[in-house]
Amino acid sequence: MTTMDAGFDVDTVKAEFPVLSQLVHGKTLYYLDNAATTQKPRIVIDTLRTYYEEYNANIHRAVHTLSERATERYEGARGKVRTFLNAASVKEIIFTRNATEGINLVAQTYGRKNFKPDDEILITAMEHHANIVPWQILCEQTGAVLKVVPISDEGEMDFEAFTNLLTSRTKFVSVTHMSNALGTINPIEKMIELAHSYGAPILIDAAQSAYHKKLDVQALDCDFLVFSGHKLYGPTGIGVLYGKEEILRTMPPYQGGGDMILNVTFEKTTYNDLPYKFEAGTPHIAGVIGLGAAIDFLNDLGLERVERYEAGLLAYGTEALKDVPGLTIIGTAPKKASILSFVMDGVHPHDVGTLLDQYGVAVRTGHHCAQPVMDRFCIPATTRASLACYNTEADIDALVVGLKKVSEVFG
């Protein structure tokens, strides 16, 4: 067991993830691609199996026993998400396919209704494509203008520039809490306060931070927040959009169909109440229930303990990578979490990742859906090792051993 947190038994935690016990190319699997997706604990796997084996049925639409059970578990999971985020009401919890769909929903409902030519939308230069492209599409549709806050050589947002770019023309702010490419943690508390001082609503992309840090949307006072279940140790294909109830009520539906209606005639349709107004059609029922199980898992661990443990592991990894010849870490902001992105002299990241895989080390290589970040640092791509609650010093040690072999092979 690692000595970084005597109260956190990482070996016991790791044992809850069946996939981590396998061999890859005859080697122990060292999984360090958690920023792309985390592995799933037994409680999530068992919950999905139980749903399909014991009470698979559609929800909200029948009075038979299986449907009532499925509906109860589905809405129970919504309650778990509400508590997880400390939202004021379950009406503020909208289930989507992922964080990306949540951002698109806000852009195409709140944005198209409220933005006009020359209104400004403010984002940062470290955003994931999911928090860039929807706003570009919206700007094309409405004539609004996208403004971008620059980042420093360390990968830190220029807070003075953020302050200066906020004006009376700023009608919306959308920022990442934690950069998926750099690990930088943005000062969202101050950003929310400043945005509101100009009357601008703000959306927080918490896709990366939600499984590392405790979130409290009421304390933050953010207007919207999104995250994806698959990065929270839950199933793929499920995400969450939180929105303040008073704002969600003013927004038109995102899609039309079943369950988002109260009454339909050929002359007029009356829409359902929140949150169902934004949940057209049969949802990912198993995914929502599985997400609830993932939240139970994290609650049992304690996110504060997870955050402390991962901070120690990040510090260990940052120091360990200094022993690798020709390696440069990209993203050295004082406040960061979980991400070790780097380049190696004379070696393309894809070659690094391919060779590491032969030693059982799973990392991500490429632009990480953050091409503007790569452009900012004048590089085509990075190799990214990203951490989760089940990672250990042994994972970092295996990464370093593999990287030294890469250095030897490519000279």
For residues 245 and 54, give the distance between their C-alpha atoms in angstroms, rounded to a whole number: 35
Helices (H), ranges, 205-348: 217-220, 245-248, 285-301, 303-320
User: Residue 266 corresponds to which tokens in the numbers above?
Assistant: 């050929």
Reference 121, options 149, 160, 152, 157; nearest CA is 149
Give the HSE-up count for residue 103: Cα atoms under 13 Å, Cβ half-sphere. Answer: 28
Reference 395, options 371, 369, 361; nearest CA is 361
3-state class (DSSP) for residue 278: helix
What Rg, from alpha-carbon coordinates, does the chain have? 22
User: Phi, psi (5° rounding) for residue 376?
Assistant: -60, -35
For residues 356 and 349, give the distance between their C-alpha atoms in angstroms, rounded to a whole number: 10
373: enclosing H helix or E strand: helix 371-376
For residues 396 and 316, give the distance between their C-alpha atoms in angstroms, rounded to a whole number: 8
Helices (H), ranges, 144-239: 159-165, 188-197, 217-220
352: enclosing H helix or E strand: helix 349-358
User: What does the DSSP assignment read for 11-75?
Assistant: HHHHTT-GGGGSEETTEE-EE-BTTT-----HHHHHHHHHHHHH----SSS--SHHHHHHHHHHH
For residues 201 and 113, give the distance between their C-alpha atoms in angstroms, rounded to a whole number: 14
342: enclosing H helix or E strand: strand 339-344
222 is catalytic: no
DSSP at 109 = I
For residues 300 and 314, give the distance between their C-alpha atoms in angstroms, rounded to a whole number: 22
Residue in this structure with the two tokens 């929270």, named with its chain if needed: 232
Name the active-site residue from 222, 369, 378, 389. Answer: 369
Q: Which residues are catalytic?
A: 369
